[in-house]
Amino acid sequence: MKVAKFGGSSVADAIQFKKVKNIVESDSKRSVVVVSAAGKSQKEPVKVTDMLIKLEKALKAGTDFQLLFGHISARVLKIRDDLNLDVNIEQDLDDIYQNLNHCSHDYLVSRGEFLTGKLMAAYLGYHFVDAKDVMIFDGDQFDYAKSSEKVKSAYQRYSRILVPGFYGANLDGSIHLMPRGGSDISGSILAKLLDAELYENWTDVSGILMADPRIVNHSKKIDILTYDELQELSYMGIGVFQEEAVRPVREKSIPTKILNTNHPEEGGTLVVDAKDKQLNDQIITGIAGKKNYTVITIKKYQLNKHIEVLQKVLAVLQKFRIAINYVPSGNDSFSFLFQQSDISNKLESIVLKLKQTCGLDDVEVNKDIALVAAVSLQLSKRPAIAGKILDYLDNSLINVRLVIQEGSDIKVVFGVANEDYEKTISKIYREAMFRDYKKIPA
């Protein structure tokens, strides 16, 4: 069997619903369908989830929430009516309306998936299984043991089921919301629980591109990549697949396909175990990056022998509660990378505190740094590739401020000035496309 998850743009209106039906009906193995909330379309510029978040704000502020609720209802009713569905969705809308004043954030924001799921289940003729009855969380953790039983029994009983994504329930039955983009996680968990032969993630792009198409014209599509490669690219913000959705399918080596609901014929990107991916001639699988990092470098002679200094530094950083993204190190220095938005209003105080309390020789700050990651399974087998890319960037007059290769051996990260970000990505892309990897030593 296959689990097929359809993202927000794939279920945005009646036209998209029809495409989903065609896809589901063209393969009888697609017996479990997961949907996001209706997303953006040409006519609808706002996702239902964002409308619900806005509705919650209006409720809290005591401003006119009726209008927003009316807009959400109209979207749902239009899909129902355009498809001539015999579903009493007014009843569900009315229940939600009655709950507005005392419901939780998780309940309200998950209603987009709930309503879209109800409509899609009716349209496909699949049994609607409310995610709150089968996807169980114990605190922050997904409870596989409890959920497994429930999911399997619903599947055995109805054989064709639709489960709304993005939420489940806590042990006390209240709604538990997942992070944004969480329907990917729901689908991945269901594929794991039901031992699917394939997890299909239907979106509005034909798979994952090697590089951001806004930077590289006609970027090549990645036909096949490993879970690790996908996770690294997702972490660097490629945005096609929720980062946390990789783990469940990977744990059971369930192949995952990222496909385009608008162009199923284009084939998409397949994600597999490393053992199932043949190395090809291409040296880099994908390139991704983010701008706006700040680097704080602390310096002290023979720092690597002064653990107590590092402890003091970490204590300072912990006090300011900011997430550290990378920590490249040398003998006499350590650099900490932060997202600029996390640190900007605390930077001066942090630097002052580090200087005053940690006994350092120097503290250096570099702002407006972009990170560009080249990801490839081949990097672990041919470390010389990273050096080649570095030479190439150097020859292209890009000043690489830092190179990070520790942590994951399938990724090398280059830190460059923000203004060199696009150029760096284009150059690495060219290098990856046109260099013959067989000539690079193992």
State the residues that interact with ligand ASP by CB under 6 A: 7-8, 36-37, 47, 49, 112, 165-166, 180-184
The encoded tokens of residue 350 equal 């942090």
CB of 52 to ligand ASP, least distance (A): 9
Q: What is the dihedral of CA 112, 115, 120, 125, to 10 degrees?
A: 150
Q: Which uninterrupted H or E stretch holds 298? A: strand 286-299
As a whole number of angstroms, the distance between CA 28 and CA 125 comes to: 13
Contact 334, 298 (CB under 8 A): yes
CB of 5 to ligand ASP, least distance (A): 8
For ligand ASP, the closer of residues 179 and 213 by Cβ is 179
* Residues in CB range of 107: below 8 A, 6 or more apart: 99, 174, 175
* Residues in CB range of 427: below 8 A, 6 or more apart: 392, 393, 396, 398
For ligand ASP, the closer of residues 113 and 420 by Cβ is 113
CB of 258 to ligand ASP, least distance (A): 14
For ligand ASP, the closer of residues 7 and 415 by Cβ is 7
CB of 165 to ligand ASP, least distance (A): 5
Contact 77, 89 (CB under 8 A): yes
Q: Look at phi and psi of residue 168 and say left if phi exceeds 0, alpha if psi is from -120 to 50, else beta.
A: beta
User: How many Cβ atoms from other residues are within 10 Å of residue 407's Cβ?
Assistant: 12
CB of 49 to ligand ASP, least distance (A): 4
As a whole number of angstroms, the distance between CA 394 and CA 375 comes to: 19
CB of 42 to ligand ASP, least distance (A): 18
For ligand ASP, the closer of residues 105 and 430 by Cβ is 105
For ligand ASP, the closer of residues 57 and 157 by Cβ is 57
* Residues in CB range of 226: below 8 A, 6 or more apart: 271, 272, 273, 274, 277, 377, 410
CB of 208 to ligand ASP, least distance (A): 17
Residue nearest to ligand ASP (CB): 183
Please count the CA atoms within 13 angstroms of the CA of 237 that sit on its side-chain side: 10
Tell me the backbone φ, ψ of residue 253, rounded to 5 degrees.
50, 45
For ligand ASP, the closer of residues 185 and 370 by Cβ is 185
For ligand ASP, the closer of residues 184 and 431 by Cβ is 184
User: How many Cβ atoms from other residues are within 10 Å of residue 200's Cβ?
Assistant: 26
For ligand ASP, the closer of residues 7 and 207 by Cβ is 7
* Residues in CB range of 65: below 8 A, 6 or more apart: 55, 58, 59, 100
CB of 245 to ligand ASP, least distance (A): 9
For ligand ASP, the closer of residues 46 and 403 by Cβ is 46
Q: For residue 335, which of 343, 345, 322, 325 has the smallest C-alpha distance?
A: 325
CB of 142 to ligand ASP, least distance (A): 15
